[in-house]
Structure 1
Amino acid sequence: MDATRIDDYLHRLGAAPPDRPTVDALRELHLRHLRTVPFENLSIHLGEEIVLDGKRLLDKVVQARRGGFCYELNGAFGVLLTALGYDVTLLAARVYDDEGRPGIPYDHLALRVRTVDGGDWLADVGFGSHFHLPLALGERGEQKDPGGTFRIVEAGADAAGVRGGHGTADAADLDVIRDGRPVYRLEVRPRALGDFTAGAWWHSSSPASRFTRSLVCSRITGDGGRITLGGRRFTVTAPDGTRRERETETDEEVLALYRDRFGIVLDTVPTVRDAGRGA
């Protein structure tokens, strides 16, 4: 990643180059990324190829000024952080469903980031509604965040850190818990970007994937709330969790929301692809 590409990425985030790869600089970059680069799955429904290659991801996020889902956003963010001097490791996770069952292997991509002044941190700009600031990976107590109260516990422990919850697991794995509910099971062994190719293919092609069955474009706002365009429904969520929703009436209104609220310029309105096509 050359200096020009770094500057372009930072310019998109509205951030200055950090003097050193510190915790404070990481927090600022993480928050700016969530405010600027939307979590979205539009490529799946626009027929655009998703390629897990560092250059292709940067082309999409920086040059095309698009967003993406976990593999793309955390993949690109990891490239930026590495170029800025952070020690970055890709980690695989399995996202829990509403019944507490973990998803497929390589279901999610998150980042372990080591700073020069503060140990290891869990960074994740590719999950949608989640923590706003990186979590201390070695902390086992509660971590307060604008996105909720988080805990990182040994996998198989309950929200209080007691072993026996959420099924069996590798002893090295960790559970990330938000407001008392498990979010995902995190493996701590290093992975390469190419390891996530099968997961990205499944999520972008299987009718069982939530991403093939719906459209989403979402980012946090400057006040700590969130805006989301789910198909044609536009939702504004305040920091206290109250929501205002409205249905858009015309294609022009949808395209204007993508452009003005998410910075995404499209020629046509995305529509959910035929979910009946096999995985």
Structure 2
Amino acid sequence: MERGDWVARYLRRIGFEGEPKPDEATLARLHRAHMLSVPFENLNIPLGFPVETTLETLFDKVVVGRRGGFCYELNHLFGHLLKTLGFKVDLLSAGVWSQGRFGPPFDHLLLAVHLADQRFIADVGFGDSFREPFPILGEARDSLGVAYRVNRRGETLVLQQQKPDAPWVDQYRFTLEPQTIDAFQPMCRYHQSSPESSFTRRCICTMATADGRTTLANGRLIRTTAGTRTETPIVSEADFRAVLAEHFCVELPAEVSLTPLRSINEPSPKA
């Protein structure tokens, strides 16, 4: 596929209008457009389809097929778009904070984008996260009042999030050493196959909205709008398909049974 056609189709996919330039304003617009258009989701894993990280496969899935993905997919593809547009981009390794500790290296893939004499942290593959990049070792606050910052902790950097009237919470720690996509393959295989991975134990599809977030998880549609949260149980396969199509523009083939998605999303019994 010609470079111009590849870029044009990607930009249409995320609803980006205008002429992209390798500058801070364009980076912010591209990142925000991606967060509002492409869901963070792991549907292929419980459905038994392998997660592949070649650029051709990712383009077919995310752009042509209008699907989403997780970090190894979304940030790798978005990073390539940025490089194609003239940005200098590094793939970075991170360990995600979970259950009182940080995960191992390559647990998460994020991006560092070089602009003038600064590096910006960019990440369209972490679900509920910042909507626009900001300078590494800087701080940002989005329109919904959620703050983000990166601070140095020993030899690593730590991304933190602070929701309104709440304390700062660690998200992941990372280093600035550039990596290749091949270095992430062992952890990518782990997250789609190990019973210890959260991605094999639950199904999630989530996407930012202009005034909040919409999430399908644990057998419920969860919508947060201007700080107000509502939950709706998803009972049937037809309802599951309707929710994916209406809220995430995801349409899975009719011949693919969604039973694995529904069973893995069964709500836990209340005590």
User: 2:141 maps to what in 1?
Assistant: 144
Residue 233 (1) aligns with residue 220 (2): yes
Secondary structure of the residue aligned to 1:45 is helix
Equivalent-residue separation in structure 2 for 1:231 and 1:60 (angstroms): 24
Secondary structure of the residue aligned to 2:198 is coil
Equivalent-residue separation in structure 2 for 1:214 and 1:264 (angstroms): 18
* 1:84-135 C-alpha deviation (Å, 9 max, x unpaired): 1111100000001131x1112200000001235x732100000011111112
Residue 188 (1) aligns with residue 176 (2): yes
**Structure 1's 273 and 230: CA in aligned 2 closer, same or farther, altered over 3 A?**
closer
User: 2:151 maps to what in 1?
Assistant: 153
**Structure 1's 51 and 19: CA in aligned 2 closer, same or farther, altered over 3 A?**
closer
Q: Size of the alignment, in residue pairs?
A: 254
Matches within 5 A, 1:1-279: 2-99=3-100, 101-115=101-115, 119-139=118-138, 142-146=139-143, 148-156=146-154, 171=155, 173-179=156-162, 180-223=168-211, 225-240=212-227, 242-266=228-252, 267=254, 268-269=257-258, 271-272=260-261
Using structure 1 for the length normalisation, give the TM-score. Answer: 0.86
Letter in 2 for 1:237: T
Equivalent-residue separation in structure 1 for 2:171 and 2:226 (angstroms): 20
Equivalent-residue separation in structure 2 for 1:119 and 1:17 (angstroms): 25
Equivalent-residue separation in structure 1 for 2:214 and 2:192 (angstroms): 23
Letter in 2 for 1:248: I
C-alpha contact (below 8 Å) 1:53/1:193 kept by paired residues: no
C-alpha contact (below 8 Å) 1:112/1:122 kept by paired residues: yes
The runs of 5 or more residues in structure 2 that have no matched partner are 163-167, 265-271
* 1:211-239 C-alpha deviation (Å, 9 max, x unpaired): 1000100001122x000111531000123
Equivalent-residue separation in structure 2 for 1:215 and 1:19 (angstroms): 34
Q: Percent identity?
A: 37
Letter in 2 for 1:27: A
Equivalent-residue separation in structure 2 for 1:230 and 1:220 (angstroms): 15
User: Displacement of 1:59 after TM fit?
Assistant: 1.5
Letter in 1 for 2:105: P
Using structure 2 for the length normalisation, give the TM-score. Answer: 0.88
Equivalent-residue separation in structure 1 for 2:34 and 2:46 (angstroms): 23
User: Displacement of 1:261 after TM fit?
Assistant: 1.0
User: Displacement of 1:269 after TM fit?
Assistant: 2.0
* 1:5-43 C-alpha deviation (Å, 9 max, x unpaired): 111100011112534211111111111101100000001
**Structure 1's 253 and 131: CA in aligned 2 closer, same or farther, altered over 3 A?**
same
**Structure 1's 110 and 234: CA in aligned 2 closer, same or farther, altered over 3 A?**
same
